[in-house]
Amino acid sequence: MTVVRGSGGRPEETGDGAAPGFRPSRSLRISVELRRQLLRGRTALVAACAVLLPVVLIVSFGVGDPPAKGPTPDYEALAAESTPNFVMYVMFVAGTYLNGVLVALLVADGVASEAAYANLKYLLAIPVPRLRLLWRKAAVSALLSAVVVTLVPLVAVAAGALSIGAGNMTTPTGYTLPFGEALVVLALAELYVVVQLSWLAGLSLLLTASTDVPLGAVGGAVLASMFGQILDQVTALGSLREFLPSHYTWTWMELLSPEPDLRSLADGVLVSIAYACVFGTLAAFRFSRKDITS
């Protein structure tokens, strides 16, 4: 829209239907969308799930029998020995399904829920440009997803420190790290986890831009995450599995070895970001041409 200045410097309408002085670049600011999402019950529920997992696990270690150690101890058997071991175990458990569910709930529900509550057409009539609305939703949901996923190991550190104590980290292969160095390594591993989940955030954005049913978008993203992990277990696929973003879900464990395979870590980051870019582009294409009826 072009704003024309009339006599006296006052803006006049240009005939395109927009209000005088309207600036699309100032509509739906990040702070406004962030505040809206923080006030939603869904966000509180997702955060509660992230907090509850480490708490439930630490309580179970306190009231149940200690895990038995075999010839080669696993993550669970080592979890009760020190805080870094417990954090390592929590990250392993969360990576199975919880992280995918958290991202799907926060991202895939974004645009679809606005349509389900019949708010979408009013948001676009303010007017907020379509792509601006989509990217504002994507940015806020991605930020919240990163915070919530990171909240899981942070709560695990606090719960472990209060219940178990500091101590060194010992991996199932016998590699040992002192407490401070272990926390740095685990922080880097969690950073990798957040970046690796970008592919699922991109897919969730595509699904939420394509449907008016929030449950369908969230369910589709969760099923895609689970199906990807199942396919990665099919050894008959051979090297084709390297093109699956889910193939790199557990690559963060490389950082727990004395000589981590940095190439695998780099591959995981590049593949995940590539999928995120493709899904994000498709989401923008789909949403820009979608008929908004609700």
**pLDDT tens for the chain, residues 1 to 294:** 444 444 444 444 444 445 565 566 566 677 888 888 888 888 999 999 999 999 999 998 877 665 555 555 577 878 888 999 999 999 999 998 899 999 999 998 888 887 777 777 777 776 777 888 888 889 999 999 999 999 999 999 999 999 888 888 988 778 889 999 999 999 999 999 999 999 999 999 999 998 888 889 999 999 999 999 999 989 898 889 999 999 999 999 999 888 888 999 999 999 999 999 999 999 999 988 887 766
* pLDDT score at 6: 44
* pLDDT score at 68: 58
Listed by start position, the domains of the chain span 27-288
Q: What is the rounded distance in angstroms from the CA atom of residue 253 to the CA atom of residue 260?
A: 8
pTM, two decimal places: 0.85
* pLDDT score at 12: 45
* pLDDT score at 227: 92
Q: What is the rounded distance in angstroms from the CA atom of residue 55 to the CA atom of residue 41?
A: 21
